[in-house]
Amino acid sequence: MSAGGSSAWGRRLVIAVPYIWLLVFFLAPFVLVLRISLSEVAIAMPPYVPVFDLGAGWDRFVADLGRLSFANYEWLAGDPLYINSYLSSLRIAFVSTVLTLLIGFPIAYGMASAPRGLRPILMMLVILPFWTSFLIRVYAWIGILKPEGLLTLFGQTIGILSGDEQFRILNTTTAVYIGIVYSYLPFMVLPLYAALERLDGSLLEAAQDLGCPPLKAFWVITVPLALPGIIAGCFLVFIPAVGEFVIPDLLGGSDTLMIGRTLWNEFFNNRDWPVSSAVAVLLLLVLIIPIVAFQQAQQRQQEAAR
Amino acid sequence: MAKTLGPVRRAFAPWDDPSATPLIRFEAITKRFGDFTAIDNVSLDIYEREFFALLGPSGCGKTTLMRMLAGFETPTEGRVLLDGEDISQVPPHKRPVNMMFQSYALFPHMSVADNIAFGLKQDGLPAGDIKARVEEMLSLVKLEPFARRRPDQLSGGQRQRVALARSLAKRPKVLLLDEPLGALDKKLREETQFELMDLQEKLGMTFLIVTHDQEEAMTVADRIAVMNHGSFEQIDPPSVIYEQPNSRYVADFIGDVNLLDGALETRGGARVFSSKALSNPLPVMPPDDTPDGSACIAIRPEKLSVSLTEPEQADGLAMLKGTVWDIAYMGDVSIFHVRLSDEVCTGQDKDETVPVLRATIANTTRLVERPIAWDDAVWVTWQADAAVVLPR
C-alpha cells in the first residue's frame, strides 16, 4: 500500500534526524580532533602538520596510516601533570556530585512534599538562576568569596571574624567545590524532584502500617524508588563537572588541577593543538564509561515505568 | 427487638449482649482540620470477630475515623481503645492493626512474595517462618504461581489479592479495609465481596470496612454505621438499616425508597397517615409512643403491589389510586412510576406537586395476558406495616 510505504519512509526520516545531528555535530568534530591529536606540532598556521591529506589519493592515505604518530599520547602518559589533572578532575567531580546529592535531596524532597499549588513556584525558583548567564553567576561568587568580599563582611558583621580577619576561600579548591555545587544543583534537584513527586504517599503509610518505622521506611521505600532520579542527577552533575573549565579557572587557585583547565592552557598558552586534542580525546574516553552507564540506567528506568 | 427482620445471618450479636467487652472502642471522638469538623463527638464499639462497615458519602468522615484506628490521624478530642488499651498516641508502626489501602499501595520495586513478607520482616521473624507464612498467604488468595511477579505485571484483581494477603500476613487484631473493591469491575466486585466474607469467617478476625457502596456494606457486614457530616445516623445490622431506618437520611441513602410527607393522626383508636397530596388517609403502624403530628413515611418499592382492578378493602391495607406514568422493564423486575392522580398527562404539563410512587414488581411469569401499560388507571397497595413512619 502506498500509504504504508510513505509512513515507513516518514518513520525512517524521523529516526534519521537525531543520527544526522550526531554525525554532523559530534562524530565529524570528533574525527577532526582525533586527526589533530595524531599529528605533530609545528610552527605554522594551523600549528600542526596534517597527517592525512585527503586530496592526495588512496595510496597516499594507506601509506600515511603507517606513519601515524602516537607520540602525543605517549607524552601525556609520561607527564604526571596530565595524569594528576585527570585524577584531580575525577575526584573534584565525585566529591561535588556527592555534596550536590546531599544538598539536593532534601530540597527535592521538600518540593515534592509541598502543597500542590506551591510546587510550580518552588520549581520556578530552582530554574530561575538559569535566566542569568552562567559566567555572570560565577563572577558573582568572586565578589562573595574574595577576602574583602561579602562573605567576609557578613562574618565581621555577625562577629565570627574580628575586624581585620578575612575569609581566604577564593582561589582554593573549596571555592571550586562551592562553585560546582552551586552551578549544578538544579541538574540534581530536577530529576530527584521528578522521581520523588511520582512517589505515592500511601506507600510510606503502608510501610509504617506494616510495622516499619518512618526513618527505615525512607531507606527501604523512598530511596529505592527515587534511585532512577538519583542516578540521573548524579550523572548530570558528574559528567559536565569532570570537564569543567570556567569554575576552576575563575574560582580555583593555581594548585587546583582540572583537566579542562590543563586543556585550555595547552591549547591557548602553549598553542600545542595536537597535545590538547589528545587530552580532549582521552577526556572523552574517560567520560564514555559513566555516560554508557547513565544510558543503561535510563533504559532500565524506562522499562520499569512501562 | 420485638420482631425479626429479614434473614438472620448467624447467631452472632455481641452488641446486644451487655456483658460483652468491645475489641475497639471509639470514645467521644472529635476531629477538626482547622475550622472544619470532620468527626463530631462520636462513640462506637466494635466487637471481636465482627465485620463492621462504615458507610457514607464522600467527605462524611468515615475514612478519617478508620485512619485513626490505623494511627495516621490522631483525635482532636476523645480516645481510641484497642483491647481496653488507649492507643490514641501510639504511632502506626507499633499498632497491631493492618490496613488494606484503597490504592493497594503495593511496593512497586518488590515482588509479590516480598510485598507479603514485608511486614513479617519488620517483626524480625526467622526466615523460615516468613517463607512458610508467605506461602500460606499466597495459597489463601490463590496467587501461588505469581509469587515472583512484580505488582505491575498483575491484573487489578490480582493486585487486590496481594494487598489483602499483605495486610493479613501479620495476623492483625483488626483488618482495616479502605474501599477495598472500588477499583474492580462490578462482577469481580460481587465475587470478591463473598470471598471477603468467607475469609473473615474462616480467619475469625475482626474486619472494619470503609465504603460508599451501600450494596457492598449490606453484603459483607454484620453491622453498618451510616455516617453523615461527621456523625452516625444509625448503627445496626443491614436488615434493620434497610427495613427500619431511623431517619429520612438513612431511608433515602440505603436503597430505593418512596418518601411521602404528611401528618400522623389517631382516628378511632387507629393510626393513620394523611396528606393534602393524597386522596385518602393511609393506615400505618408506628411504635405506640410515636406522637401525632408532622411525619413522613418511607415505603420500599418492592413492598408495593400494582393492579388494574380495584382490590378489596381490608384492614391494614393501604391503597392509593393513580395513573401509570412510566415503566422500566429490567428483565427480572419491572419498575412502575405511578402518579397519584386520575388524570392522564404528558411530560410538558406534569404537575410537580402530585406525588409519584415507584413500585418494583418481580416478573414472575414469562407471559402476561394484559400487562400494565402506560396511562393505565391502577391501584397501588401495600401492607400497613411495610411503611416506616419517620420524623420529618
Q: What are phi and psi of B110, to 5 degrees?
A: -125, 150
pLDDT at B296 (0 to 100): 92
pLDDT at B382 (0 to 100): 95
Q: Which residues of A touch B94 (CB under 8 A)?
A: 211
Query: Is the bond preceding residue A46 a cis peptide, omega within 30 degrees?
Result: yes
pLDDT at B4 (0 to 100): 54
The ipTM estimated for the assembled molecules is 0.83
The radius of gyration computed from the CA coordinates of chain B, to the nearest angstrom, equals 25
Residue located via cell numbers 532534601:
A106
CB contact under 8 A, A212 and B109: no
Query: Residue B232 is inside which H or E element, if any?
Result: strand B231-236
pLDDT at A53 (0 to 100): 63
Residue pair B42/B77 in contact (Cβ under 8 Å)? The answer is no
Give the 3-state secondary structure of residue B150.
Answer: coil
- More confidently predicted of B129 and A295: B129
Q: Which residues contact B159 (CB under 8 A, 6 or more apart)?
A: B104, B106, B151
Residue pair B298/B247 in contact (Cβ under 8 Å)? The answer is no
CB contact under 8 A, B105 and A214: no
Residue A249 included in any domain = yes
Give the 3-state secondary structure of residue A115.
Answer: coil
Closest CA–CA distance from residue A207 to any residue of chain B (Å): 8
Closest CA–CA distance from residue B110 to any residue of chain A (Å): 10
CB contact under 8 A, A206 and B99: yes
Q: Per residue in B8-51, pLDDT tens?
A: 555 788 998 888 899 999 999 999 999 999 999 999 999 999 99
- What count of CB pairs under 8 Å joins A to B? 59
The domains of chain B, with CATH numbers, are 9-96+172-252 (3.40.50.300), 258-390 (2.40.50.140)
pLDDT band at B1 (very low <50, low <70, confident <90, very high): very low
Give the 3-state secondary structure of residue B388.
Answer: strand
pLDDT at B353 (0 to 100): 75
CATH number at residue A276: 1.10.3720.10
Q: How far apart are CA B129 and CA B140, in angstroms?
A: 16
Give the 3-state secondary structure of residue B383.
Answer: strand
Residue A260 included in any domain = yes
pLDDT at A168 (0 to 100): 86
Residue A84 included in any domain = yes
CB contact under 8 A, B93 and A212: yes
Mean pLDDT of the region B41-66: 94
3-class SS letters over B161-181: HHHHHHHHCCCCCEEEEECCC
Identity at A304, one-letter amino acid code? A
Q: How far apart are CA B388 and CA B250, in angstroms?
A: 12
Residue to substitute from B69, B98, B107, B179, interface A, most A β-carbons within 10 A: B107
Give the 3-state secondary structure of residue B182.
Answer: coil
Name the residue in chain A with its Cα closest to that of B109.
A225
The CA distances from residue A55 to A38, A59, A66, B208, in Å, are 18, 11, 18, 86
Count of domains in chain A? 1
Q: Which of B71, B122, B166 sits opposite A212 (nearest CB)?
A: B122
Q: How far apart are CA B196 and CA B207, in angstroms?
A: 9
Closest CA–CA distance from residue B164 to any residue of chain A (Å): 12
Q: Which of B97, B106, B108 sits opposite A225 (nearest CB)?
A: B108
Q: Which residues of A touch B109 (CB under 8 A)?
A: 224-225
Name the residue in chain B with its Cα closest to that of A305.
B152
Closest CA–CA distance from residue B108 to any residue of chain A (Å): 8
Give the 3-state secondary structure of residue B320.
Answer: strand
Domain span holding position A221: 70-305
Q: Which residues of chain A have pLDDT under 50?
A: 1-2, 306
The CA distances from residue A302 to A228, A231, A295, B151, B251, in Å, are 9, 13, 11, 16, 52
Q: Is the per-residue pLDDT at B388 higher than 90?
A: yes
Q: Which residues of B touch A213 (CB under 8 A)?
A: 91, 93
Phi-psi region of A9 (alpha: psi -120 to 50; beta: other; left: phi over 0): alpha
pLDDT at B167 (0 to 100): 96
Name the residue in chain B with its Cα closest to that of A202.
B105
Identity at A305, one-letter amino acid code? A
pLDDT at B26 (0 to 100): 95
pLDDT at B5 (0 to 100): 54
Q: Is the per-residue pLDDT at B349 higher than 90?
A: no
Q: Which of A205, A212, A213 sits opposite B105 (nearest CB)?
A: A205
Q: Which of B72, B109, B122 sits opposite A211 (nearest CB)?
A: B122
Residue A193 included in any domain = yes
Residue A56 included in any domain = no
| Cα-based angle A236, A266, A31 (whole degrees, multiple of 5) | 65
Q: Is the per-residue pLDDT at B7 higher than 70?
A: no
pLDDT at A123 (0 to 100): 93
CB contact under 8 A, A225 and B109: yes
pTM here is: 0.81
Name the residue in chain B with its Cα closest to that of A206.
B105
